[in-house]
Amino acid sequence: MNHLDFRSDTITHPTEEMREAAANAKVGDDVFGDDPTVNELEQIAAEKMGKEAALFVTSGTQGNLVSVLGHTNPGNEVILEADSHIYHYEVGGISAIAGAIPKLIQTEDGNITPEMLENALRPSNIHFPDTSLLCLENTHNRHGGIALSPHSIAEVARAAHDHGLSVHLDGARIFNAAIYHNVNVKEYAKEVDTIQFCLSKGLSAPVGSLVAGTRDFIEKARKIRKRLGGGMRQAGIIAAPGIIALTKMVDRLKEDHDNARKLAEILKGHGYKIIEPQTNILVVYTDGKFENSDEAVDFFKSKGILCVPFGPNRIRFTTHRMISADDIKRVDELLS
């Protein structure tokens, strides 16, 4: 059976144009700085973010880890939202590799306010770890793809800076947030010291993320990436599809948002409780319908619809380029 695959926007295949670009890419040894295609991608990324420089990394996880390593010393405390991707889904890297201790702030909607941040800060005391970094996330994955506004990001980032903290934004899906709020991504990037974003999700590139920041920070991050084993050689082969992702695939993310809203309406019609989607992630509650999220995932699978468990009583659907508006209509038929 040909399943409708809503597990993640990471399942998107590269377009034909991306495959051609990969095949024809001009390459060199990027560890020597010689790969013209990687250099071009990093320059385009820096310009799009309004930052001085950018670094091509293997994944979002590596981008976040490189950033945390660049902003902290071992034993430092890092402040994170309690449901953040860095805390939940990155294999404990900030502790295992950066030696950082996480401090979590619980929120209703993924939005850390300046007041919450101030309550989480420690007074200066010989016993305490130094708190050096605030990490933010936008769109917020575990809070249902919610898109924080530039104003929210600015307020808390300014408060963090006032207290001497650096600010890193995990913007894996920052273009989705910018589309929802109808702003340029620079409005987010300008408030934070570093931003990480993924090419390999809704933007459909096969591999890679970028970290953008000051020239000095990116120089340091390049060396950290090498230490982590992320120095790549003829990486132009994978950077070339990334250039297409960044220059041609951003505007169509809006279709994914429209499809998520349509899917939400259909599932509500079938009696499901949902978190209203803002972007391309739709979280559906399973209570009252199923024992747990695994049972719900199995049920949908038996109908030809793939989704993922998202905690004990929630499942997640993600819309993306390989799901069309017609596919969304089919969901209604498959569930009827």
Residue 51 or residue 201: which is nearer to ligand PLP going by CB?
201
Residue 37 or residue 61: which is nearer to ligand PLP going by CB?
61
Q: Considering the rule CB under 6 A, would residue 209 count as an interface residue with ligand PLP? A: yes
Q: How far is the CB of 278 from ligand PLP (least distance, A)?
A: 14
| C-alpha distances out from residue 230 to 66, 169, 221, 239, 278, Å | 10, 20, 11, 14, 34
Residue 78 or residue 266: which is nearer to ligand PLP going by CB?
78
Q: How far apart are CA 40 and CA 239, in angstroms?
A: 9
Residues 242-301 interacting with ligand PLP (rule: CB under 6 A): none
Q: Considering the rule CB under 6 A, would residue 141 count as an interface residue with ligand PLP? A: yes
**Segment near ligand PLP (CB under 6 A), from 45-53, 56-64, 221-229, 257-265?**
56-64
User: Residue 90, Cβ neighbours under 10 Å: how many?
Assistant: 21
Q: How far apart are CA 318 and CA 260, in angstroms?
A: 7
Q: Write the CB contacts of 77 (distance below 8 Å, at least 6 apart in sequence).
A: 100, 101, 102, 103, 122, 128, 129, 130, 131, 132
Query: 72-111 mask for ligand PLP (x: CB under 6 A)?
Result: -------------x--------------------------
* Options 30, 77, 137, 256; binder of ligand PLP; rule CB under 6 A: 137
Task: Give the residue among 246, 299, 66, 100 at the shortest CA–CA distance from 168.
Answer: 66
- Closest residue to ligand PLP, based on beta-carbon distance: 60
Q: Considering the rule CB under 6 A, would residue 42 count as an interface residue with ligand PLP? A: no
Burial of residue 308 (CB within 10 Å: 0-12, 13-18, 19+) is: middle
Q: How far is the CB of 241 from ligand PLP (least distance, A)?
A: 15
Strand duo 281-285 + 273-275: pairing:
antiparallel
Q: Considering the rule CB under 6 A, would residue 318 count as an interface residue with ligand PLP? A: no
Q: How far is the CB of 5 from ligand PLP (least distance, A)?
A: 16
The footprint of ligand PLP on this chain (CB under 6 A) covers a number of residues equal to 12
Q: How far is the CB of 195 from ligand PLP (least distance, A)?
A: 11
Contact (CB, 8 A) for 130 and 103:
no
**Segment near ligand PLP (CB under 6 A), from 59-67, 155-163, 216-224, 260-268?**
59-67
Residues 146-175 interacting with ligand PLP (rule: CB under 6 A): 170, 172
Contact (CB, 8 A) for 142 and 106:
no
Contact (CB, 8 A) for 293 and 315:
yes
Residue 4 or residue 198: which is nearer to ligand PLP going by CB?
198
* Options 4, 79, 198, 240; binder of ligand PLP; rule CB under 6 A: 198
- Binding stretches for ligand PLP (CB under 6 A): 59-61, 64, 85, 137, 141, 170, 172, 198, 200, 209
